[in-house]
Structure 1
């Protein structure tokens, strides 16, 4: 049983259950749910390689970064709201609605005629994307008890590294072979398949709710998330970390989130129910998700910089050279899902994961400017395996710790924290990367080195045209910056190792906790 006392659902909430307690969902149903996750994770990375072509076609170079930022902002803001809406009004309907909004945004992005339109339509697309991941997890949590969901949840975890590596590759291929608009149009057939499969084959019995979403809490949470996301996006790039703008965003985020906590304690149907955090394992799982998300995204963002600037790889080649990182994560998550499905204990996995990930990050400190490409690529496998051992148990603990009535809110919370962790992790580790690179270049080249470090438009192709002493200094600077990122990643993973020891081995539920269908 869960450690926290069971609470009976208030009359205003819904009861939602699978149509039958005995028949598990078919593989086709699970595929339909996974398709939504593929859409959500892939679209966060697929656009990056198409942006130069998009800017050349639509113009608006000074606003092009908002094509990505608008999507991430609205995804983060809408995620917990979709989760709570599913808990209150029906998870299947909420999931189908999010797919519909996402597809509408995708089509509009494909027909955009200027940068302003594209940014607006990307924001709409992000609103739909916020419900894809949380919707799929919450529906799976309703259809399958945690004791049987290990393999399905491991497949969900596999989508994250696949999207990180595969998204840029697919985006580049579609842009080169077809047109940049196909980066958005490709979502339509995949989303349509998900709509048909889930709409026709998923059977959930839902008692409708008379309650309403906590709009005050949703507004405060939205404000806090917007401030945090902008802080992570602008900090150290658009504005200095000690600038008034960044300080203002930090104060706004702190004030909004503090007020959000107070409001949620009094709300009849809070967006993120405080009762979730009374469960020790749930709280620990969210901390692990936040830290592992920061470590994963930070490593995946700055390792390609080394591959391209130091090893002279193309963007496509640098993505392929990160395959060991992806394979390590995939292998760990699939193995854990299979082992848990056979009834094995799970507490040891995040402890092992924290230790292995820390060792993997420290091993990458051996990478130098003259390290063989194959060796640098292979070393990422250890870090990937450790992160996989952290992310998969965290998702499993989240689903096992939440009551069936809170499945949407629980999955929305873990998705939100991973998103915020990723954003802040990239920002914080990026500041370390830039600082160490600047110090190295300034020490080797003086003021010219500082100018190079601040040259955001410097590409690997342009670097090859500079004098050899400058190229050598820049390669050394990038390597030093990577070492700083890996030290930060190792610190994050060491914290997860410490926290993982606090997890309790609570038996996984063998049923969904729902009443049988009539």
Structure 2
């Protein structure tokens, strides 16, 4: 939970300090890269870290992630210009790419099937707390100290996380010779970097049909095809083709894509929607959005009882139905906006996503052994990252087409229509999750099982 808190707080603390950072360092036109480069490096590194975790163990990989995150945080706090800060955010993203999937993989290793959903709920509660604590700390540091402290606050957390992992987490990794798939790692990194970069910056840094847009996306797709061909012949592929050829793993990955789209649509546009149309303060709009991260851990912590009784597929179907209900309510009430209606809709969305994300991931983890669990977890989280990137691109293009360069505060009525279109698209994505949930294979009720014997928490 402490390790997850590094990524959770960092994802919420920076936004409130952006005006202060720009006032100090300049580079207003470049500040979106503070978020884009972090998302980019985090997403492309997840599959590589996950494969290495199945090779050398979880502990060294998560410690490397914590170390890189600590290094990136210190460098960000010492940054002297916007380009330097952007470069150091990339280092932070490389650390986050190891921290988040490894925390979830370790949960799959050391807890029984009956316990995993509850523990996933604990991890989700970290995000709920961070949704409130992060923006508050960002505002306090920016107003009363300096923006540098939003990064320096990660130092004690990183040290605590590293110390706890060193003292309390022990694992036994089978000793055997491995053939590292260097070619696959390079091709996967290059192809996904170009594809995500094209999706993130299309319509912003360059037009979709510009030479830069077409060239970046085209080069990424070509390298992705080459990567697939190379992986078919690799002895130990970094992302094995079987990960997406098995029906359960393929459907849970598609569900993760949908979760990424829904999350990105809600978290990106709800605050601006409330501030532009209702005139709510940033704090009020942030708290309305935070109800999503409150509902998520509540339902995730109870998901274990449902899937042990009715199975993974039924639980995910229940969650997807609740998600559709929440997304539909958000779209329906957006024509008559109110903070209360949005907060209630986000809370229902969170309840639904908690019954979708945790059980689908646990179903994927439970279908493989220790030696494949890291890759499966990483593939699922990579799919969510790609969903987030696609969501940013598609929903951003939808808003830009309606606003035509006009700021939301300059034309609230036009932005209201654009936001309604976004929330309708989110509802469609939620409906797609429900359809994919129907395609999940029917399996018997899962046995509670035992934790993996290779992992023994200290004191157990």
- Report the 3-state secondary structure (helix = DSSP H, G, I; strand = E; otherwise coil) of the residue aligned with 1:203: coil
In 1, Cα distance between equivalents of 2:12 and 2:295: 20
Within the candidate set 84, 87, 104, 2:54 is matched to 87
In 1, Cα distance between equivalents of 2:331 and 2:67: 45
| 1:395 and 2:332 are equivalent in the alignment | no
- Deviation string, structure 1 residues 58-98 (Cα, Å, up to 9, x no partner): 22333222222222221112111111111111211111121
Higher alpha-carbon deviation: 392-401 or 242-251? 242-251
Name the residue aligned to 2:12: 45
Report if aligned partners of 1:322, 1:377 keep a CA contact under 8 Å in 2.
Answer: yes
Name the residue aligned to 1:475: 412
Within the candidate set 307, 314, 326, 2:281 is matched to 314
Report if aligned partners of 1:39, 1:190 keep a CA contact under 8 Å in 2.
Answer: yes
- Greater Cα radius of gyration, structure 1 or 2: 1
RMSD: 2.3
Going from structure 1 to structure 2, the CA distance change for 1:502 and 1:162 (only over 3 Å counts) comes to farther
Report if aligned partners of 2:38, 2:90 keep a CA contact under 8 Å in 1.
Answer: yes
Higher alpha-carbon deviation: 300-309 or 145-154? 145-154
How far is 1:180 from its partner? 0.8
Within the candidate set 454, 472, 481, 2:405 is matched to 454
Name the residue aligned to 1:383: 349
Going from structure 1 to structure 2, the CA distance change for 1:223 and 1:229 (only over 3 Å counts) comes to same
Report if aligned partners of 2:330, 2:341 keep a CA contact under 8 Å in 1.
Answer: no
How far is 1:368 from its partner? 4.6
Within the candidate set 115, 132, 147, 1:148 is matched to 115
Within the candidate set 281, 294, 298, 1:331 is matched to 298
Going from structure 1 to structure 2, the CA distance change for 1:495 and 1:112 (only over 3 Å counts) comes to same
In 2, Cα distance between equivalents of 1:201 and 1:168: 31
How far is 1:214 from its partner? 1.0
Name the residue aligned to 1:489: 426
In 2, Cα distance between equivalents of 1:41 and 1:77: 19
How far is 1:314 from its partner? 2.2
In 1, Cα distance between equivalents of 2:235 and 2:98: 22
Going from structure 1 to structure 2, the CA distance change for 1:351 and 1:516 (only over 3 Å counts) comes to closer
How far is 1:139 from its partner? 2.1
Going from structure 1 to structure 2, the CA distance change for 1:415 and 1:372 (only over 3 Å counts) comes to closer
Report if aligned partners of 1:79, 1:415 keep a CA contact under 8 Å in 2.
Answer: yes
Name the residue aligned to 1:499: 436
In 1, Cα distance between equivalents of 2:455 and 2:294: 40
- Report the 3-state secondary structure (helix = DSSP H, G, I; strand = E; otherwise coil) of the residue aligned with 2:312: coil
- Deviation string, structure 1 residues 199-244 (Cα, Å, up to 9, x no partner): 0111211234432431111111111211122122212222222323
How far is 1:197 from its partner? 1.0
Report if aligned partners of 1:58, 1:115 keep a CA contact under 8 Å in 2.
Answer: yes
How do 1:95-494 and structure 2 match up within 5 A? 95-160=62-127, 162-163=129-130, 166-340=133-307, 345-368=311-334, 370-436=336-402, 438=403, 453-455=404-406, 458=407, 460=409, 463=410, 474-494=411-431
In 2, Cα distance between equivalents of 1:515 and 1:300: 38
| 1:510 and 2:454 are equivalent in the alignment | no
In 2, Cα distance between equivalents of 1:175 and 1:208: 50
Report if aligned partners of 1:90, 1:208 keep a CA contact under 8 Å in 2.
Answer: no
Going from structure 1 to structure 2, the CA distance change for 1:272 and 1:501 (only over 3 Å counts) comes to same
Going from structure 1 to structure 2, the CA distance change for 1:178 and 1:61 (only over 3 Å counts) comes to same
Higher alpha-carbon deviation: 285-294 or 137-146? 137-146
Q: Which runs of 5+ in 2 are unaligned?
A: none
Going from structure 1 to structure 2, the CA distance change for 1:109 and 1:209 (only over 3 Å counts) comes to farther
Report if aligned partners of 2:306, 2:315 keep a CA contact under 8 Å in 1.
Answer: no
In 1, Cα distance between equivalents of 2:290 and 2:450: 37
| 1:64 and 2:1 are equivalent in the alignment | no
Report if aligned partners of 2:76, 2:85 keep a CA contact under 8 Å in 1.
Answer: yes
Going from structure 1 to structure 2, the CA distance change for 1:356 and 1:145 (only over 3 Å counts) comes to same
- Report the 3-state secondary structure (helix = DSSP H, G, I; strand = E; otherwise coil) of the residue aligned with 2:439: coil
How far is 1:185 from its partner? 0.8
How far is 1:369 from its partner? 5.8
Going from structure 1 to structure 2, the CA distance change for 1:164 and 1:246 (only over 3 Å counts) comes to farther
How far is 1:280 from its partner? 1.9
Report if aligned partners of 2:51, 2:375 keep a CA contact under 8 Å in 1.
Answer: yes
How far is 1:367 from its partner? 2.6
